[in-house]
Structure 1
Amino acid sequence: MRTVPGSGPDPLEEALALTRRLKLPHIRRALADVVPTAKAQRWDPAEVVRVLLAEEAAGRDRANLHTRRKRAAFPTGKTFGDWDEAKSSIPRATQDALKALEWIGRRENLSICGPSGTGKSHFSEAIGQAAIEAGMSVAWFTIEDLGVLVRRHRADDSIARALNRIIRSDLIIVDDIGLLPVSPDAAEGFYRLVDAAYERRSVAVSSNLHPSGFDEIMPKTLATATVDRLLHHAHIVVTDGDSYRLAQATTGQGVKPFS
């Protein structure tokens, strides 16, 4: 084995310089603590290498997690950490099965529908956050975001390329369908997205309407074609009950009391 001789009087400084050259920022941050500890405890050289490489790997995992979460563009940061399983009308067995995320690996879809305030958006975002934690990539949209996408790319006819970038994500979430009539551009964008992802990626939607009623808010032809593809390989979850937000508001839990 060839040994590379040192070129400077301070091996630690040279090691730090090499971590910059080789783009190993997490090892660089760990060196100042690991080297004295290794000397004091007389670590085996292989242990020093293992600890430093483990620090680099863990640091890169944290950075990748941050990047995936930022790219997902979640609206609020809600997770299952602040989700009350017992209060949800979604059966516990269904919650557990969806949290396992195996359906995403099978490229199946998810439709969560029900009245406002029954946890649809929270559960959808929490599923997305769990997927991010599991190393997957996620994209989050409202249906009107898809209308903006269509308008932006219509001028140069680049919508297909834009959609191809989106469906690189393992899971695509479209939130809050059905509160308002859907604009023609948004209806087109929704159809194009579902069509592009069909049997290739998982799409999760949350809506006040059951998908069978999407023709109430978008052109019937587009609604039929969209729902046909969306529900072919889909889990349909229906929520019910009173609004969590209204319940908190009427009991004073929606604000911090004045002192």
Structure 2
Amino acid sequence: MKAAEKIQMYLKVLKLQQIAEVYPDEAEKAAKAKRSYQDFLLRLLEQQVNARIEGSINRQIRSAGFPAIKHLEEFDFSFQPKLDEKLLRELAGLQFLNESKNILFLGPPGVGKTHLAIALGLKACQARKRVLFYTAEALTQMLAADDITGNLQKRLVSLSRIDLLVIDELGYLELSQKTATLFFQLISKRYERGSIIITSNKPFEEWGVIFQDDVVAAAILDRLLHHSYTFYIQGNSYRMKNIRPK
């Protein structure tokens, strides 16, 4: 077996796939440029490390469960001129995660709440933070199922340990008293332990209707708003802006 073949075999055994892919070209370039062995090895290792980081980020993005990929850079702030663009770009620096602060986006359908929530979640994934995205309906259904099977506490502990929990569409459907209680348990478990981003079409004064209990709603809001940023987004729907009446 030739030396080049042995190198490829050993790289695959060591699971250094990226080096295995670039080694022949890098070896040829190094020989032509008369690079040192140290420089040649450094270039190979840099590409392997970068590939692993990229792979880790891509896996995190997939496991987060985003319904779509949305970037902050794609958001049309000119369509929502009253939105605090400067603050949102500061939040994209993710300091709010280090401080376990929450972010709430409130407003009617179609104004960009979910886009912004996903965009910040994506920034967190790119920083190699653990992120999970759920609609409020899917989340509460999951908690209710866990409660029935006896896995609720295990689930709450698991959800309390991730860096960022994104809950979308809170308020589109009213919760039962049981699921409202389960939602409260989750918020309490994450209180001052990890950040939450919530989007809702309902103002805070209507959250008692969502949870069918003003006391539970007040307790949830108390914990969410203690350390938080709230954005009230008004205006027309993005999805409707290009539709012309016939």
Contact residue 143 and residue 155 of structure 2 kept, 8 A: no
- In structure 2, the residue matched to 1:109 is 102
* Distance (whole Å) between structure 2 residues aligned to residue 56 and residue 80 of structure 1: 29
Query: Of residues 175, 178, 181 in structure 2, which corresponds to 1:188?
Result: 181
Listed as ranges, the gaps of 5+ residues in structure 2 are none
- In structure 2, the residue matched to 1:137 is 130
Structure 2 residue identity aligned to 1:68: Q
2:230 aligns to what SS in structure 1? strand
1:79 deviates by: 1.3
1:100 deviates by: 2.2
CA 224–248 in structure 1, closer or farther in 2 if over 3 Å, else same: same
1:26 deviates by: 1.2
Matched, 1:21 2:6: no
Matched, 1:224 2:218: yes
Query: Of residues 90, 97, 100 in structure 1, which corresponds to 2:90?
Result: 97
Query: Of residues 68, 90, 107 in structure 2, which corresponds to 1:76?
Result: 68
Contact residue 176 and residue 212 of structure 2 kept, 8 A: no
Q: TM-score, normalised by structure 2?
A: 0.92
Listed as ranges, the gaps of 5+ residues in structure 1 are 1-8, 253-259
* Distance (whole Å) between structure 1 residues aligned to residue 178 and residue 4 of structure 2: 59
Structure 1 residue identity aligned to 2:169: D
| RMSD after superposition | 1.8
Aligned residue pairs: how many?
Answer: 244
After superposition, give the CA deviation of every residue in 1:150-176 in whole Å (9 maximum; x if it has no partner): 233123311121122223321111011
Moved more, 68-77 or 91-100: 91-100
2:63 aligns to what SS in structure 1? helix
* Distance (whole Å) between structure 1 residues aligned to residue 160 and residue 62 of structure 2: 17
Structure 2 residue identity aligned to 1:247: K
After superposition, give the CA deviation of every residue in 1:15-53 in whole Å (9 maximum; x if it has no partner): 212212222111111112111222222210001110110
1:114 deviates by: 1.2
* Distance (whole Å) between structure 2 residues aligned to residue 245 and residue 131 of structure 1: 26
Matched, 1:126 2:119: yes
* Distance (whole Å) between structure 1 residues aligned to residue 188 and residue 36 of structure 2: 57
* Distance (whole Å) between structure 1 residues aligned to residue 27 and residue 68 of structure 2: 41
Query: Of residues 154, 172, 175 in structure 1, which corresponds to 2:165?
Result: 172
1:251 deviates by: 6.8
1:185 deviates by: 4.8
1:133 deviates by: 1.7
* Distance (whole Å) between structure 2 residues aligned to residue 121 and residue 108 of structure 1: 18
